[in-house]
Amino acid sequence: MTIDSTAKYRKPEWLRKKISFSAQKEMDQLLEEVGIHTICQEAKCPNISECFSKKNATFLILGNICTRRCSYCNVLTGKPEEVNPKEINQVTVAVLRLGLKFVVITSPARDDLGDGGASQFYKVTKNILEKSPGTQVELLIPDFKGKIESIQKVVDSGAIIIGHNVETIPRFYKIRKNASYKRSIQVLKDIKRLGGDNVKTKSALMVGLGETFEEMVQVFQDLIDVGCKFLSIGQYLAPSGEFEKVKEFVTPETFALYKRTAMDMGFEFVHSTPYARSSYMAHEYLSNEDGDTNKNLLK
């Protein structure tokens, strides 16, 4: 469904998701008590009420202010505060209070820090695994400007999945401030090279910006070539009129085609639906609970 940018439009039926404010309020209160942020809140994720009702959240460490100003992202930008050592334990407290068996940790880009925040990822992950040994941790990291020392640090953290999102096709990388497609692919390559079989790598793409099927397939191949076997593909939705414009509402049939194509190319698990996001139902990548054509990773 191509959009006329000069006219007002309504979201198609497949993008009209119901929101449960009561479930969101309960989780908001718990997170406020503990004193931590989630990317779900900061990025205004459309899945927030669904995930919060299931006690699923992606914790945001290193503050809620990003040093980059990408034209598609709702996270605040500016000068971040100092790294908060208390959040190492705050995240673990939230994990324990919620009884989480699978946790996703992410952060804004922190180009002001020498290691990009890699040490904090390491400390938070180690603390969770020490105090909640039955919990698995997934990290969704920025590019750390490609620094090998930082990538090695997160690989050594004990996280079972480490993701880095390429976000879009190379032609649209102007919307990613101070990032490059080549660097993002290299980050994924380095994670896999350093982590080997101990770490699964993951990435995500948003569609609806005007990309072609052929361009998407090329990104799939680039990811496969560097050992990335987990992928999520979702519809880009502009947080407001100030952000990059949506060019197309991609149909569920096209999302299904992307999934079949990616799986045929060698991915082990793909979430490809209009509301898929990189951390949405993240535990399914390992447990294969949806019973579809994704390959069982617990062999």
- The tens place of each residue's pLDDT in the chain, 299 residues long, gives 665 554 456 778 877 666 555 555 666 676 677 767 665 555 556 665 566 566 666 889 998 899 998 987 878 889 999 999 999 999 999 889 888 888 899 999 999 999 999 999 999 999 999 999 999 999 999 999 999 999 999 999 999 999 999 999 999 999 998 899 999 999 999 999 999 999 999 999 999 999 999 999 999 999 999 999 999 999 999 877 788 999 999 999 999 999 999 999 999 999 999 988 887 777 788 875 444 445 433 32
The answer to whether the beta carbons of residues 50 and 117 sit under 8 Å apart is no
Q: What is the pLDDT of residue 46?
A: 61
Q: What is the pLDDT of residue 250?
A: 96
Taking the CB of residue 154, how many other CB atoms lie within 10 A of it?
A: 28
Q: What is the pLDDT of residue 18?
A: 64
Q: What is the pLDDT of residue 44?
A: 57
Structural domain boundaries in the chain: 18-287
Taking the CB of residue 101, how many other CB atoms lie within 10 A of it?
A: 12
Closest C-alpha to 151, from 104, 202, 191, 184: 191
pLDDT tens for each residue of 116-162 = 999 999 999 999 999 999 999 999 999 999 999 999 999 999 999 99
Q: What is the pLDDT of residue 6?
A: 43
Is domain 18-287 given the CATH code 3.40.50.2000 in the classification? no
Closest C-alpha to 229, from 252, 202, 249: 202
Q: What is the distance between the alpha carbons of residues 72 and 240, in angstroms, rounded to a whole number?
A: 9
Q: What is the pLDDT of residue 290?
A: 44
Q: What is the pLDDT of residue 64?
A: 86
Q: Hey, which residues does 245 pair with through a beta bridge?
A: none
Question: How close are the terminal C-alpha atoms of the chain, in Å?
Answer: 40
CB-based contacts of 126, cutoff 8 Å, min separation 6: 157, 158
pTM (two decimals): 0.86
Q: What is the pLDDT of residue 221?
A: 98
Name the maximum alpha-carbon separation found in the chain.
Answer: 54
Taking the CB of residue 223, how many other CB atoms lie within 10 A of it?
A: 26
Q: What are phi and psi of 137, to 5 degrees?
A: -120, 135
Q: Report residue 16 as tokens.
A: 């009209």
Closest C-alpha to 185, from 209, 208, 167: 167
Q: What is the pLDDT of residue 238?
A: 84
Q: Hey, which residues does 186 pair with through a beta bridge?
A: none
Residue found under tokens 């990613």:
176
Residue found under tokens 């959040």:
87
Q: Report residue 236 as tokens.
A: 């880009």
Q: Report residue 60 as tokens.
A: 């945001």
